[in-house]
Structure 1
Amino acid sequence: MTEEPLTHYRRHRFPAEIIAHAVWLYYRFLLSLRDVEDLLSERGINVSFQTVAEWAAKFGLKFAYQLRRRWRGNLAAKWHLDEMVVSIKGRKYWLWRAVDADGYVLDALLQSRRNKKAALRLMRKLLKGQGVMPQVMVTDKLRSYAAARAEVMPDVEHRSHKGLNNRAENSHLPLRRRERRMMRFKSTRQCQRFVSAHGQIANLFHLHRKHHTAAAHRQLRADAVTTWREIASSSVL
């Protein structure tokens, strides 16, 4: 890492490499903030879990934004949309999510409703973020999807069938595991901030191991780590 990017972290007591590594540990693996604190401590880096939480909140979205810009418009043209229930302080919310045909997370949006208006917000956010329309949109049988699609993407093919949308439903599993590890989300703001960062960072290390040889997988993993280091070194505070 060059000396110039390091100055971007000048208001922090720890260097850029440590901050980026802590954020990577938190979003890449199923670890709590205290787990990250212990792992850093084992390496002689004494930092509290509260500081790790601040780093994750501050830099996670910065890293995710840069990753999203790199992938904008380059993901598969088939979108799978689905929603999952999230309970926050005893109130039910709906986390609307979209993934492409290869399982890469396109975006996520936490909302209090499960209706046409909520589906419209998700689709408009997806179109703005991706910059292109999909060729095919796959959803379950919730009628809100069809109504919203007819308004913003009338020419896009819509396949509405629960059995066809396993790609989106399976993509909820890693987030469910994180939700349990975090003992549920504490607020809507925390939830939206976490899923916005987690999805994009998870995409970077989503390598489809079964489709590659061991050597090819190692190269893809090395490329992902290189990209992560570039992202971390170019984030300006």
Structure 2
Amino acid sequence: MSADERFKGCHFPKCVVLQVVYYYLRFALSYRDIEELMQDRNVPVDHATIQRWVVTYSSKLEKQFRKKKSPVGNSWRMDETYIRVKKDWYYLYRAVDKAGQTIDFLFTKHRDTKAAKRFFKKAIRANGAPEKITIDGSAANKAAIETINKEMKTPIIIRQVKYLNNIVEQDHRFIKRITRLMLGFKSFNSARSTLIGIELVHMLRKGQSANPMAKHKTMFEQFCALVG
């Protein structure tokens, strides 16, 4: 899909759209904060429009990034964290390698073996099977890996060592810091789309683009380059 097709029907230049979407996904700002910032630059975009852009474009940009994502290590650390949607709590499954590089993530309504298996399947499909996965004491996560191991020629080593999982637990902090001012998402789908965008920017922040020109560009320039 071309850049023009992605922004077809939008009444603002794509540089404005990308700027406000990036602000929201990168910094701990509310939609109204960004609305005020843009008004100071004589760009009359309202907070509802900004929210719509974030939900619309986050997944599309992340999909483009996955085509250029650097390979990850074969020793994974996996954990889940809580995200609020209205008055309920849902679950963001995440994994990083031992160097702290993001492997994958999945936002789900449930925290059980089925959800954990979905996450592991998604991560393996995108990154290949790891040699070992470190998890916490969750029986559901362990059962999910054991189920997957039955389908594999070389089983994944399961480690349940809490201190080794500090890397992924610390990595949650960037996601939680950005979502803290959101005061709870209004719907599961908008939460999922927004979290995809936050994870995208987090991967850019960690230098996970395999594009050889990325190191010569700022994070925002790399973000914009995903449009093509």
What TM-score bracket applies, with the shorter chain setting the length? Answer: 0.7 to 0.9
Please tell me whether the aligned partners of residues 26 and 178 of structure 2 are also in contact (alpha carbons under 8 angstroms).
Answer: no
Structure-2 residue corresponding to 1:13: 11
1:165 to 1:57, Cα distance in 2 relative to 1, 3 A: same
Offset, 1:8: 4.8
Q: 1:51 and 2:46 equivalent?
A: no
Structure-2 residue corresponding to 1:88: 85
Give the AA of the match of 1:183. L
Higher helix share: 1
1:16 to 1:88, Cα distance in 2 relative to 1, 3 A: closer
Structure-1 residue corresponding to 2:117: 120
Gaps spanning 5+ residues in structure 2: where? 209-213
Give the AA of the match of 2:217. A
Offset, 1:191: 1.9
Offset, 1:87: 3.6
Partner deviation per Cα, 1:29-61 (whole Å, 9 max, x = no partner): 111111111221121211111111111111111
Structure-1 residue corresponding to 2:211: none
CA distance in 2, matches of 1:90, 1:11: 34
Offset, 1:221: 6.6
CA distance in 1, matches of 2:50, 2:81: 28
Please tell me whether the aligned partners of residues 67 and 201 of structure 1 are also in contact (alpha carbons under 8 angstroms).
Answer: no
RMSD, matched Cα: 2.3
Structure-2 residue corresponding to 1:160: 160
1:9 to 1:112, Cα distance in 2 relative to 1, 3 A: closer
* Partner residue of 2:63 out of 62, 65, 74: 65
Gaps spanning 5+ residues in structure 1: where? 209-218
Instruction: Indicate the larger mover: 222-231 or 35-44.
Output: 222-231
Structure-2 residue corresponding to 1:213: none
Please tell me whether the aligned partners of residues 28 and 179 of structure 2 are also in contact (alpha carbons under 8 angstroms).
Answer: no
The alignment-based identity, stated in percent, is: 26
Q: Paired residues, what number?
A: 218
Give the AA of the match of 1:105. T
CA distance in 1, matches of 2:16, 2:44: 11
Offset, 1:79: 1.6
Give the AA of the match of 1:133. A
